[in-house]
Amino acid sequence: MAILINTQTQQHCLLQSHHSFGRFKSSVNTFVSEAVISKVHAFIEWHGEYWLLRDVSSNGTWLNDKKLAGDKVAQLNVGDTIAFASKSGYSFEVQDLKPPCDCLIPVEHNSEAIELEYFHLLPSKKSHNRVLSYNNKTTSWWQEILDDNLSEATVSSELNDQECLDIDGLIWQLKINRTLDDTQLLRPSVTSLDQLTFLFQTSLDEESTHVVMQSGEQHIDLLTRSHHYLTLCLARQRAKDMQAGLDDSEQGWVYAELLAKDLGFDASHLNIQIYRMRKQFVDALNNTCESSNIIERNAGKLRLASKLFRITKGDTVECDTRQFSHQKSNVNANQYANH
């Protein structure tokens, strides 16, 4: 996120992707009250790889003591000084020129702004942790409270641009500031969990679990992580229910309290393990195919959303649910043919 410093007040100015300066308070991003400033005086805009300054005023804009021509734009660099109406007028110094991003802005406190990833944990010392996640389908941010009462259903709520959040008594405002240039290529190109297979490899003593995601011939290595054992436990429950012939909607559900007890976790630790798995999955897929929902929650219960996985313990294949899916498809085809 790009930052200007007001040279008079030393306050930070966080740039929007299309940022305006001027005296018309209700129509500009940064209000400048001096009479010599035009109602809309200048713009700073993000152009994919760099920021450009444009003057649209009556009295001019200066960049490093050089007045901008009315029909010209200038590329900004860190350390530049921007002055409005005169060389020595109301001015800003360019401190940072990162691309625009969605963020939480401090309201009436001096904390640093929080740049939001697609899936972001907001720790709290006084209340429950919360997760902010960006939903590609609704193109909006959602808030989820990580409640230590594992028997309660998890509640998510949609957040609006400029909505305020109270975290440990400090107020933060959500600023949605993404551009089309932020779009990333999918890795791999998947639109559904049904296009992915999870390959679990756990040691004989189950002290380490390694996970690889497979989509066709593409593989993404999720490495060996402590939270993979939690995912492995959920996969085993789903495989067990698939073998028992349970309907898809009934497969794999485990009470969170019971799972935490079996793993020796308290509620907070279990929530953090789930968050780490979901975040790693979101990052691996660039937040596609509702990837934050890889672990589903419902009324105090959890399950692995994916139905396609293989579990190998040591050198032995424990289960491969792709076989179940193939067998089920054959049964359905035969039933249809007989009918």
Domain boundaries, the chain: 2-97, 103-182, 193-338
pLDDT tens column, 46-55: 998 899 999 9
Q: CB under 8 Å to 266, separation ≥6 — which residues? A: 148, 260
pLDDT of res. 139: 83
Q: Which residue has the tokens 């200048």?
A: 42
pLDDT at 328 over 60: no
The full DSSP string for 106-127 is EESS-PPPEEPPSEEEE--SSS
Two tokens at 127? 């209340």
Domain 2-97 in CATH 1.10.760.10? The answer is no
Backbone angles phi, psi at 90, to 5 degrees: -55, 120
Give the Cα separation of 184 and 227 in Å (integer): 27
- What are the angstrom distances between the C-alpha of 199 and each of 161, 278, 312, 323? 39, 16, 8, 14
pLDDT tens column, 89-135: 789 999 999 999 999 999 988 888 899 988 999 988 887 889 999 98
State mean pLDDT over 172-191.
67
pTM (predicted TM-score): 0.74
- What are the angstrom distances between the C-alpha of 121 and each of 117, 165, 280? 9, 14, 12
Query: Which of 96-105, 246-255, 280-289 is predicted with the least confidence, judged by mean pLDDT?
Result: 280-289
